[in-house]
Amino acid sequence: MSEQNQNNSAPIWAIWKWALHWQILVGLILGGLIGYISAKYYIQVWEMAKDAETTRAQAAGEAASLPSLESIFNNSLMYMIFQLFGDIFLNGLKLVVIPLVTSSIIVSIIGIGKSAGFRRIGLKTLTYYAITSTVSILIGLSLVNMLKPGVSASEMNAQGQMVQKAPLLNTENIQMFSEEQAALQSKVGSSGAADFLDVFRKLVPDNLITAATTNNLLGLIVVSLFVGYLVVRIKPEPGEVLTLFFDGMYRVSIRLTNIILRFAPIGIMFLIATTVTQNYAKLSQEARLAEFLGSLILFAITVVAALAIHIFIVLPLFLWIFTRVNPYRHHRAMAPALLTAFSTASSSATLPVTMECVEQRAGVSRKTASFVLPLGATVNMDGSALYECVAAIFVIQAFGWELTIAQQFFIVVVALLTSIGVAGVPSASLVAIIVILQAIETQLAAQGIDLPLVAGFPILLIFDRPLDMCRTAVNIFSDSVGATIIAKTEGEEGLLRPELLQGHETFEED
């Protein structure tokens, strides 16, 4: 009996027989419920501990040493279990990234064979990435100017114009973000504009082992491109041996990915439980930020709406124009990768799942997918570029300042460049936004205007994690659309056939 018939005949309660994307969806829902329930429980524990400490301190006539809600969570056994199993699954995905990326690119370049084919596909890939990233930034720019999430109600006049009155942020109230500023600094470190130059330096790593251990995917991709290019240009005997070796490495990586994906619903459940617990605690603890929540919620709505336009309208339109295939089928084919990206908030960690979906469920050849997707996971960040633009303008609006057309164009250009060049830097979006704000600060200072824009940026950390999950899903979906479009332009047939989804509702080993 085929796998499809087995799935169809399985009872409805046999969740382990369901298609993978439905299993992951169940894991997402259960993880959210578990995280919410555990957060509510530990908030009650925290409130009881706080009341007890206050009573004791009053009786002793001394200052109360109140425990933080974060410490209650971090030291709880349940939270540590969530984090443990979520990290194990995430580490499993990260484990396979390096061998999968290097072997897949080498095998792909060997398959392409001649440099003319390589140059053609490479040019198409980079052109697609540049166009979609630019479109995503312009969508975000349009919505943030239309909805003006950083402008409070008291700042909007009858004509709907921004006026310099009671800005959401000023030099006094940003002092309340001192803790968040410290947390931001610990994430970003000393990173800044100079780190963009380091990205180009990393294109040629001086040590492959170091590049692998530091997750320098950009350097490994460049090396893999050259290795694949040179393998087909050496003598047949050693060339065949190397081809078999890298092909074997690729097949082993795919099989290892299949094993890891069997545990995806459970791993994602624990990842979401951890995320919900953390963010519920953060929002509960930040009651002092209640006056900002309205604008923050509108900011989150602006980002999500812009991402939704890009993933549900713009990218499907690209797909239909260039391939004439049903965009709904592509969304369905990419469902496991989208849910994994949403759960992990990591394009690199999701890459093995993305490659599985594009090859087995969308019907793109290994040759195309193995070249386009690893490169896209490193340099194509449509969602991140959009977010950088919206976030930077939101902070500037919150200080009661309206940017000129030239300044907004500057933000578009910087967001586009940083979304590509900053991929190898930790906390990439944070670094990019800070670089944008620092540049605007400098421009305003030259005009005699002193606005501490960077100091107000930590307000975005409240909703950063859920928005990071959303923009990561957009990033990997854009990669998959690019792989499908390029496959079609290369003459590949049978993309997104209905029988592909029927035959690969769960992944099969090669």
Residue 65 is assigned to a structural domain of this protein: yes
Tell me the per-residue pLDDT of 104-155, one tens digit each, with 9 for 90 and over: 889 888 887 755 677 888 899 999 999 999 999 999 999 999 999 988 655 4
- The total of structural domains in the chain comes to 1
Q: Which residues pair with 30 in a beta bridge?
A: none
Quick one: which of 95, 62, 168 has its CA closest to 395?
168
Residue 4 has pLDDT above 50, yes or no: no
Q: Which residue has the higher pLDDT, 119 or 5?
A: 119
Q: What are the beta bridge partners of residue 475?
A: none
Instruction: Round to whole Å and give the CA distance between 326 and 64.
Output: 63
Asked if residue 435 is part of any domain, the answer here is: yes
Give the span between the Cα atoms of 234 and 246, in whole angstroms.
Answer: 15
Residue 1: per-residue pLDDT: 39
How remote is the C-alpha of 386 from its chain's centroid? 12
What's the average model confidence in pLDDT over 37-47?
85
More confident residue, 216 or 155: 216
Lowest mean pLDDT across 218-227, 253-262, 430-439: 430-439
Residue 141 near residue 389, CB atoms below 8 Å: yes
| pLDDT at residue 274 in the model | 87
Distance CA 277, CA 74 (A): 10
Mean pLDDT of 149-168: 61
The average pLDDT across 359-370 equals 90
4 domain residue, yes or no: no
Residue 259: pLDDT above 50?
A: yes
Which among 395, 461, 434 has a CA at the least distance from the CA of 193?
Answer: 434
% of the chain with per-residue pLDDT over 70 = 81
How many other C-beta atoms lie within 10 A of the C-beta of residue 6? 11
Let me know if 478 is exposed, middle or buried by CB neighbors in 10 A (0-12, 13-18, 19+).
buried
Checking if the pLDDT of 67 tops 50, the result is yes
> What is the pLDDT of the chain when averaged over all its residues?
82
Query: What confidence score (pLDDT) does residue 195 get?
Result: 61
Cα torsion for 491, 496, 502, 508, to the nearest 10°? 60
Contacts of 139 (CB under 8 A, 6+ apart): 306, 309, 310, 314, 386
- pLDDT for residue 2: 41
What mean pLDDT comes out for the span 42-50? 83
Predicted confidence band of residue 203 (pLDDT cuts 50, 70, 90): confident
Report the share of the chain in percent with pLDDT over 90. Answer: 31
Please choose, from the candidates 103, 95, 24, 105, the residue with its C-alpha nearest in 3D space to the C-alpha of residue 376. Answer: 105
In a domain, 13, yes or no: no
Does any domain span residue 496? yes
- Lowest mean pLDDT: which of 185-199, 442-456, 459-473, 492-506? 185-199
Amino acid of residue 11: P
For the chain, the helix, strand and coil percentages under 3-state DSSP, each to the nearest 5: 80, 0, 20
Whether pLDDT at 418 is above 70: yes
User: Does 9 fall in a domain?
Assistant: no
Q: What pLDDT sits at residue 44?
A: 85
Looking at the DSSP assignment, which residues form a beta bridge with residue 162? 156
In 323-435, DSSP assigns E strands to none
* Contact in structure between 462 and 286 (CB atoms under 8 Å): yes
Supply the pLDDT for residue 390.
95
From residue 85, alpha-carbon distances to 41, 116, 431, 456, 488 in Å are 20, 46, 29, 35, 40
Residue 5 is predicted with a pLDDT of 47
Phi, psi of 156 (to 5 degrees): -100, 125
| pLDDT (mean) for 66-70 | 71
pLDDT digit string (tens) for 14-33?
676 777 788 888 999 999 99
Residue span of the structural domain in which 138 resides: 18-503
pLDDT value of residue 3? 42
The helix (run of H) or strand (run of E) holding residue 119 is helix 115-147
> Token pair for residue 94?
């990260």
If pLDDT is split at 50, 70 and 90, which confidence band does 13 have?
low
Give alpha helix (H) positions in 202-326.
208-213, 217-231, 236-261, 264-285, 290-309, 315-323
**CATH assignment at residue 80:** 1.10.3860.10
pLDDT score recorded for residue 244? 93
Separation of alpha carbons 436 and 111, rounded Å: 41
**Average pLDDT for residues 30-41, to the nearest whole number?**
90
In this structure, is residue 5 part of a structural domain?
no
Domain assignment present for residue 336? The answer is yes
For range 462-473, the mean pLDDT:
88
Q: In angstroms, what CA-CA distances link 194 with 191, 208, 269, 411?
A: 7, 23, 38, 17
Q: Do 263 and 89 touch, CB atoms closer than 8 A?
A: yes
